[in-house]
Amino acid sequence: MRAALLLLLAAPAWRDAKGEFEIAVTETVRVGTFDVRVTCPRGDKRWPVIVFSHGLYGSKDGYEPLARFWASHGYAVIQPTHPDSIKGGFRGQKEAMQAWDERPKQVSQVIDALALIEEKTGSKLDRERIGVGGHSFGAHTSMLVGGAVVYPGRRSFRDPRAKCTLLISPQGVGGLFREDSWKDYPVPALVITGSLDTSPVNDTKPEDRLAPYRLGPEGRMHLVWIEGAHHGFGGISGARFAGAGPKDDGQVWVVQQASLAFFDAFVKGDEAAAKWLRDGELGRTDRAKVRCETKPAPPPPK
Q: What is the pLDDT of residue 1?
A: 37
State the Cα–Cα distance between residues 82 and 224, nearest whole angstrom.
27
Annotated domain spans of the chain: 17-294
Note whether 165 and 132 are within 8 A (CB).
yes
pLDDT in tens, 139-151: 999 999 999 999 9
Instruction: State the DSSP H helix or E strand holding residue 226, giving kind and residue range, or none if neither.
Output: strand 221-226
User: What band does 7 get if pLDDT is binned at 50, 70 and 90?
Assistant: very low
pLDDT in tens, 240-290: 888 899 999 999 999 999 999 999 999 999 999 999 999 999 999 999 999
Residue percentage of the chain with pLDDT more than 70? 93
Q: Residue 6 pLDDT > 70, yes or no?
A: no
Q: What is the pLDDT of residue 92?
A: 66
Q: Residue 114 pLDDT > 90, yes or no?
A: yes
Note the Cα 128 to chain centre separation in Å: 18
pLDDT in tens, 226-240: 999 999 999 999 988
The CATH class for the domain spanning 17-294 reads: alpha beta
Rounded to the nearest 10 degrees, the angle between the axes of helix 64-72 and helix 249-266 is: 50
Interval 93-97 mean pLDDT: 72
pLDDT in tens, 165-181: 999 999 999 999 999 99
Reported residue count of the chain is 302
Strand order in the sheet with 76-80: 23-31, 34-41, 76-80, 46-53, 124-135, 165-168, 189-194, 221-226, 290-294
User: What band does 89 get if pLDDT is binned at 50, 70 and 90?
Assistant: low
Average pLDDT of the chain to the nearest whole number: 92
Q: What is the pLDDT of residue 298?
A: 76
Q: Sign of the CA dihedral 273, 277, 280, 283?
A: positive
Q: β-strands 76-80, 34-41: how paired?
A: antiparallel
Stated pTM of the model: 0.94
Note whether 267 and 164 are within 8 A (CB).
yes
Q: Residue 199 pLDDT > 90, yes or no?
A: no
Q: What is the pLDDT of residue 203?
A: 86
Rounded to the nearest 10 degrees, the angle between the axes of helix 271-278 and helix 249-266 is: 130
